[in-house]
């Protein structure tokens, strides 16, 4: 059964302020959705809600085609289907790139050998720094590592929050390749305000519009 992400009437409120409300969107397997909008318009919040990191105030999110029935994303079983790449942070400064992948594979129950993990790092051009602490990494290298972690377990739903912030041109090419590969196995949500990245999506959701 093909996967389909269905968001119906989503709303998120912090205190008295609605970040967004009445948001409905459907994305099918093989498609990617670009989310753009002004700062504070709720791009990251929308992605966090879909990833199950933040509870939704109203509405419903489902990823159809996972198992026998629809599942609510906040359930943990769902999380194994989600690859998440944050804009910043979300890395342990005293772990190496390889240790990050090893840990990430372990908590997802993925049995990957060290050779496979190193090969995955090589795809993101991090193999030469595989054993270095991430505290010594540049911003672009950190972004590459977040992408490597997000894609390691081949998730059905890949959520990328401004993944090219601080990346060089080669890194941006890498993102194009990652999204193309994801089309063969699932859905991509990409938050970006870079006009040249809008073309990576099959359609675009403009927050705050």
Partner 1 sequence: MAVVTVVALGFASLGQNLNEGLQAGLLWVALLFGMSGALARGFLVEEETGTADLLRVGATPSSVYAGKWLFHGSLFLVLSAIILPLHALFLKPGSVSALGLGLMWLAGGLSLVSALTFCGALVARTAVKGALLAALAFPVLLPMMLMAVSGTKTAFEGESVWGALQGLCGYGLMLTAGGPWIFERFWRE
Q: Which residues bind partner 1 (CB under 8 A)?
A: 48, 51-55, 74, 76, 79-80, 82, 84, 86, 88-93, 104, 107-108, 149
| Phi and psi at residue 137, to the nearest 5° | -85, 150
CB of 61 to partner 1, least distance (A): 13
CA distance 159 to 174: 15
> Are 2 and 28 spatial neighbours (Cβ–Cβ below 8 Å)?
yes
CA distance 79 to 156: 10
Strand ordering across the sheet containing 203-207: 82-85, 157-161, 187-191, 32-37, 203-207
Q: Which of 149, 205 has the CB closer to partner 1?
A: 149
Q: Which of 75, 209 has the CB closer to partner 1?
A: 75
CB of 209 to partner 1, least distance (A): 27
CA distance 11 to 13: 7
Q: Which of 18, 198 has the CB closer to partner 1?
A: 18
CB of 207 to partner 1, least distance (A): 20
| Phi and psi at residue 192, to the nearest 5° | -160, 155
CB of 44 to partner 1, least distance (A): 11
Query: For the chain, how many residues are written?
Result: 209
| Phi and psi at residue 46, to the nearest 5° | -60, -45
CB of 33 to partner 1, least distance (A): 19
CB of 8 to partner 1, least distance (A): 20
Q: Which of 20, 84 has the CB closer to partner 1?
A: 84
Q: Which of 28, 54 has the CB closer to partner 1?
A: 54
Give the ranges where 8-57 is alpha helix by DSSP (H).
Answer: 43-51
Q: Which of 103, 203 has the CB closer to partner 1?
A: 103
| Phi and psi at residue 185, to the nearest 5° | -135, -5
């Amino acid at each position: 059964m093909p996967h389909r992400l269905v968001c119906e009437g989503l709303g998120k409120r912090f205190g008295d302020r609605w970040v967004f409300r009445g948001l409905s969107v459907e994305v099918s397997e093989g498609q990617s959705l670009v989310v753009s909008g002004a700062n504070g318009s709720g791009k990251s919040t929308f992605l966090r809600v879909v990833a199950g990191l933040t509870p939704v105030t109203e509405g419903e999110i489902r990823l159809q085609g996972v198992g026998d029935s629809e599942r609510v994303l906040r359930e943990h079983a769902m999380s194994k289907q989600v690859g998440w790449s944050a804009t910043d942070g979300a890395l342990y400064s005293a772990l190496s790139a390889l240790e990050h992948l090893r840990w990430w594979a372990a908590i997802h129950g993925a049995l990957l050998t060290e050779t496979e993990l190193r090969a995955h790092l090589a795809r993101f051009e991090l193999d030469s720094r595989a054993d270095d602490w991430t505290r010594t990494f540049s911003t672009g290298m950190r972004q590459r590592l977040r992408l490597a972690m997000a894609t390691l377990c081949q998730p059905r739903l890949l959520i990328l929050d401004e993944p090219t912030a601080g990346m060089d041109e080669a890194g941006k090419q890498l993102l194009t390749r990652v999204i193309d590969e994801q089309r063969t196995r699932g859905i991509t949500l990409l938050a970006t305000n870079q006009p040249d990245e809008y073309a990576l999506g099959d359609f675009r959701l403009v927050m705050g519009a």
